[in-house]
Each structure stands twice: as C-alpha cells, then as structure tokens.
Structure 1
Amino acid sequence: MSSGSNSDIDAVEFVQRLLNWLDGDDHDLSGDSLDDAFALLADRRRRLLLEVMRTYEEELTLPDAAEEVAVRETGNSVRNISAERVQEVYLSLYHDHLPRLVDAGLLEYDQERDLVAPDAV
C-alpha cells in the first residue's frame, strides 16, 4: 500500500475506529440509523454548516452562517468571496441542507427571524 496524504491516513484510521466501535456492544444503532447518519454527513456543505454551528455555539442568522460556510469552502476571507457565491450557499442551505438537519434534530431554525441555532440536546 502506498502512503497517502495525512487526510487519507486520517480517513482510514477514522473508518477503522468506527468499524471497531460498531463491532462493540456499547451502542444501540440500527442499520437504518447509521445509514441516515451517514447520509446526513455525506454532503460537505452540511458538515460545514454543522461545524460552523459547533464553533459558534449560539444562534446565527442564516446569511451569516452561509457566509461562514462559503469562507470554509473556499479557504478565502469573506472579502474575497463574491456576493453571488454567498447567495448560492445561502439558497442551498435554505432549500436543501438546513431542512434536512432540522428534520434530523441537529439544528433549529426560526424562519421568521432567519436564525439558525444548535439543537439544545
């Protein structure tokens, strides 16, 4: 096996640890629950939104969250990201990613105030 980048090694190690954890008896996940969790985490933009919300640990306006997701996606400062790009991120969060995460109970959304908050669980 050839040596990969650190992120490849980290991914392999993560999968091995996850498989070892799944082999243990200290969890009560069904196959469907696991599939649902992986489906939620499969999209990078959803993972980034969750990361943003965990970083700030407070409610954010969806436009601010979209801006932060765009920053993390591009690796650029907000000054170097076009308004169109931020708008595209906002729309995809609003119409696709945020509803999925809210339905799963991972985030809360107040549409009237356009605020996203980490779930209080």
Structure 2
Amino acid sequence: MTSRSHPERDCVESVQAVLDLLDGHDGIDASTESLDGAFTLLADQRRRLLLAVMRTYGEELTLPDAAEEVAVRETGRKVTNIPAERVREVYLSLYHDHLPRLVDAGLLEYDQERDLVAPDGV
C-alpha cells in the first residue's frame, strides 16, 4: 500500500498546529482582528514565498532578484528555465500588490529609489 497525501488531512493538521502554537504562547496577540490580519497577509502564496525568500537571505535584495527567487520557488525550475515574461509578471505583482501590503504591515522594508527589499529592521 502506498502512502498518498490527503489535502484535507494536511489542512486539518496545519490548522491544529497553528492553534496549538497560539495556545502555547501567551505573548502572541491572539485578538480576532490581529489574527484575521495575519491570516489575510499569509493567505496568498506569493506573499508567503516572498517572506520565505527574505527570511532565507536575511538581508536586502533587489526586487528583481527577489522576484526571480519567488518565480523559482513557484515553478520549481531553475531561473534559466523560466520565461522572462513570467519573472516580469512576478515582479509586477510583487511591486504593485504584495510588497506594499507587507511593507504596510511592517514585515518588510522597501527602498524604491534603489529597488531594494529588506526584512524589517535590516
């Protein structure tokens, strides 16, 4: 018998893990409004990937470099095997939609003149 992933079970396990995390940490502000805001920010895969990229590198990156890395993680391909138009689309969606939300939330910083993204506080 082979083991297969069950998306519903995986989702339930993820939700349970988040609830356990919230129950075990008194320092987390678990108000409904703050949790809804956090889950709204994390609801989009591209935002999660951008945050993961920034955590991986831990330093400022140009937005084009961050967009390339997000495209790599989205597709599972090497950047040389991703069409330039796809990377451009990722860049534009980060610039116009996802990055402003993450900057407004205080998770990332963005220097528009230099087109640099940094984890907040770097």
What TM-score results when the alignment is normalised by the length of structure 2?
0.87
Q: Is 1:93 the equivalent of 2:94?
A: yes
Please give the root-mean-square deviation of Cα atoms over the aligned residues, in Å.
Answer: 2.1
> Identity across aligned pairs (percent)?
77
- Specify the alignment match of 1:13 in structure 2: 13
- Specify the alignment match of 1:116 in structure 2: 117
Q: Is 1:60 the equivalent of 2:89?
A: no
- Alpha-carbon separation, structure 1, partners of 2:8 and 2:73: 20
**Which secondary structure does the structure 2 equivalent of 1:76 belong to?**
coil
What TM-score results when the alignment is normalised by the length of structure 1?
0.88
- Alpha-carbon separation, structure 1, partners of 2:89 and 2:29: 38
Count residues with an aligned counterpart.
Answer: 119
- Structure 2 unmatched ranges of 5 or more: none
Q: Which amino acid aligns with 2:20?
A: N
**Which secondary structure does the structure 2 equivalent of 1:88 belong to?**
helix
Equivalent runs, 1:23-102 vs 2, <5 Å: 23=23, 26=26, 27-102=28-103
Distance 1:16-1:4 versus aligned 2 partners, 3 A rule: farther
Distance 1:12-1:112 versus aligned 2 partners, 3 A rule: same
